[in-house]
Amino acid sequence: MIGLIVIGIVGVVMLLAIWRGFVLSYLWQWFLVPLGVSEISIAHAIGLSVLVGMFTSHIKSKSEDAKGAWQPLVTAFAAALAAFGLGYIVHAIMS
Report pTM: 0.81
Of 76, 91, 74, the residue nearest 27 (C-alpha): 91
Q: How much is the pLDDT for 57?
A: 65
Would 39 be classed as within a structural domain? yes
DSSP for residue 70: T
Number of domains in the chain: 1
Q: How far is residue 4 from each of residues 8, 9, 11, 28, 52, measured CA to CA in Å? A: 6, 9, 10, 36, 28
Residue type, 77: F
Would 58 be classed as within a structural domain? no
Q: Which domain holds residue 7?
A: 2-52+68-94
**pLDDT category of residue 25 using cuts at 50, 70 and 90:** very high
What residues contact residue 69 under an 8 Å CB cut-off, 6+ apart?
9, 63
Q: How much is the pLDDT for 62?
A: 58
Per-residue pLDDT of 40-82, as tens digits, reads 999 999 999 989 888 886 666 555 555 666 788 888 899 999 9
What mean pLDDT, rounded, does the chain reach? 87
